[in-house]
A and B are shown apart, each in its own frame.
Chain A
Amino acid sequence: MTTIRTARSPRGRTRARLAAVAAVVAVAAAALTGCSSASGDDAGKTFTILQYEDPKTAQGQGWQLALEIFKKKHPDVKVDFQTTSFDAMRKNAKLTLGGNKVPDVVEFNKGNADGGQLASQGLLEPLNDAVKKYGWDKKVTGSMQSFAKYDEQGKAGSGDWYGIPNFGEYVTFYYNKDLFEKAGITAAPTTMAEFVSAMQKLKDAGITPVSSSASTNQGFNQMWVWYSLVSAYASREQIDDFMFLKGKVDFSADPWKKATEQFQNWIDKGYLGTDLAGLTYEQANVNFLSGKTGMLIWNNGVFPRVKDQHDFSWGYFTLPGAKMSMGSSGHLWGVPAKAPNKELAYDWINTTLSPEVQNKIGELGGLPLAGDSSTITDTVTRAYTQRFDQIVAADTLSFYPDYPVPGFLDFIQSNMAAMSNKNETAAQYLAKLQKFYDDGKKATDEG
């Protein structure tokens, strides 16, 4: 079988290219009106930015500021700030970047399945020179660089720079201090043992300890609990091997075994609630916000909501006693290989990383990568951002578990539901995980 495949693959490739080119031409034909490219100096140029952050978010507002600064600096350039959606960008990225009228700078999703593919297909410009020139590697450091770089096969973690992140995200346990007090817990736990005992106390007091969910349709909390436990016992190297498809990962060994068994134990003890397979993360959020559960595991996405909507006193902590915690860099800025105004694009990226813009994002709770947290006026937001800075500085972010291979998210979700329903044991899950991961890795390595 292998010989046949190798023998025929060149022809297959040509056909695939022909088919792909035909598809691109067909779709692009409709958009082929008024295609113009100016040359010479900046005067009369149109600079196109394509991004998908909601203008109400911290990032969106930061970029509005960046836009003002950029326009002042380049008064002769007409700036076209286009907004699309995350899904539209994901689905159309190949057509957008491969067409004839290409934006100058785009926001795109990180990971092997998205940014990695675009990079390996030559649709994005390598940014190594610009990184050196502007010193972006001083602002984006450690694990924040991991998803900015992709190799020839499109695997993240090493290779050339293709994207520049502006901000990050991390996962914490939000907790309800009133319920903790009611259950007789006087202080936030600082070790794993204290954390488990706090869950037991909440359970004994008739309170669901952790608000969770495991629906295949948007029930991500259980997956995060599980991967937080994996991260708790993992080293940087183990996480990187798993995440960046480096070495062989043995899921029957620790940290996977220990974490998954503990996860099953927590399910059996009822620490994570019941009937989870039909719940979504939104329902988990609501259950916590309405004071029904002691804790909620989620990232900074829910931070402003907890801050503004709580009617109980609250706090947050990363899983106590953990070696690593979940989180990663955010979406990336990249320059299409066909972009007409590359120098302006680099200047735009540099503007978004400027102290003014970064501090604006920080002030609004958007976890900037190159901001000065001490300038944040709101004390809660400042402390929350500084905790993130600590984790970044310690280089202990473990990313999200569904990044490494295509289709991983649904696979993990389905098994989280099975474990939550007690239809699958830790050992059974780990065996399936091994197979799915190895198959996916093989497919990725094949290119």
Chain B
Amino acid sequence: MTTPESALVADHLAARERRRSRSRRTARAGYWLYLVPMIAGTLAIVLIPFAMNVYISLFRWKGGMAPMRWNGLQNYVDLFGDELFWLAFKNTIFMILGIVVVPTVIGLLLAAMLFDYIGREFGARAAAFLRATYYLPQILPIAVAGFIWSWVLATQDGLLNGVIEALGVRQPPDWLGDPDIAIYAVVLMLIWLQIGYPVVIFMAALQRVDPELHEAAALDGAGWWRRFAAITIPQIRPEVFVVVITATVGALKVFAPVLILTGGGPEGSTVVPSYYSYRNFFELSKVGYGSAIATAMSIVIFLVAGVMLWLQRRDGREETAA
């Protein structure tokens, strides 16, 4: 039954509903406005340069005002046959060792030790002080760190070789001059540079772990190692993931330490992809080829980061399911 009043009310309600949804729509359009700066930024800083990089990689070009010569996929074909490029990727494995694997493992142990032992026995201040010391290399300008390490690693009168000689070794290694071991010299410096980052993040993560878990396990007779493996590590797994992902991406594009410490030498033994791209771009004036290297590097980074994020998400889902 429809009275004029009720019809009126219904009309009124419908109109209000329409107004609301319109205003909701305009509100939603309004939200897009807020995204404009971010979209513009992404376009200007990420997407357009990346597209231009891919475009340039299809040419032979010396840069500047020089003519661009169409080269199709030849740069990429050359890349696959380029020994130095493959060596650069092989060296990336060492970079992952120096930036991801070793610092994360040592960082976990150090953070747990600082938190569980130093923090309890000597007070939070001592732990905070040590944490800051581990983080110091991260604050140092990389150029300074590079110079410090070239003194440490110097073959004659170097700090490290001084220690090795004092231990009775007659022929200490030629860290920066021997192409077979220079890459380990770079790894050493990277570990030193990187170690503070996982320590700081893991220590923050440990604050979050419920102390009752540890207490209960200790009452049940679990030793420190057992608790470390069964409680600490599973509890701070999300932070471990974050550290591993960011550090891996960092390792894939490491540049400055190599430039400053070895310049890619000796005999090209410490070349990494980003350094090789830079060298082609700026020194050899092979801009197209340098861009092809950069594109290949980006693809690898996307893939690796994608796989790791997927693993992390799957891990997260499993945890909620359990």
Interface residues of A (CB under 8 A from B): 1, 4-5, 8-9, 12-13, 15-17, 19-20, 94, 113, 117, 121, 214-218, 275-280, 283, 287, 406-407, 409-410, 413-415, 417-418, 420-421, 423, 443, 447
Contact = CB atoms under 8 A, between A and B. Distances in A.
Given A9-B70, A16-B61, A215 B176 contact: yes
A231 B117 CA distance: 67
15 contacts: A15-B68, A16-B66, A19-B52, A215-B177, A215-B266, A216-B265, A275-B155, A277-B266, A277-B267, A278-B155, A278-B177, A407-B279, A409-B283, A414-B264, A421-B267
B263 A216 contact: yes
Binding site of A, secondary structure by majority: helix, strand, loop or mixed?
Answer: helix
A287 B279 CA distance: 30
A389 B178 CA distance: 41
B64 A12 contact: no
A215 B265 contact: yes
B229 interface: no
B75 interface: no
B209 interface: no
Contacts of A19: 52
B177 A5 contact: no
B268 to A, nearest CB: 5
Contacts of B66: 16, 447
Contact of A406 (B264, B266, B285): B285
Contacts of A277: 174, 176-179, 265-267
B64 A414 contact: no
B156 interface: yes
A336 B150 CA distance: 41
Contact of B177 (A13, A113, A276): A276
B70 A215 contact: no
Contacts of A423: 179, 267
B199 interface: no
B147 to A, nearest CB: 11
Contacts, number: 127
B285 A217 contact: no
B177 A20 contact: no
Binding site of B, secondary structure by majority: helix, strand, loop or mixed?
Answer: loop
A198 to B, nearest CB: 23
A9 B62 contact: no
A278 B70 contact: no
A217 B261 contact: yes
Given A215-B266, A277-B265, A407-B285, A417 B65 contact: no
B240 to A, nearest CB: 35
Contact of A216 (B70, B71, B74, B264): B264
B69 to A, nearest CB: 5
A276 B156 CA distance: 10
B55 to A, nearest CB: 9
A275 B70 contact: no
Nearest to B156: A275
Contacts of B263: 215-218, 410, 413
Nearest to A417: B266
Given A414-B265, A417-B266, A423-B267, A12 B279 contact: no
A19 B66 CA distance: 11
B64 A421 contact: no
B294 to A, nearest CB: 16
Contacts of B174: 275, 277-278
B78 to A, nearest CB: 12
A5 B71 contact: yes
Given A12-B59, A406-B285, A447 B178 contact: no
Contact of A217 (B67, B154, B265, B283): B265
Given A216-B263, A414-B265, A418-B179, 5 more contacts: A214-B266, A278-B177, A414-B266, A421-B267, A423-B267
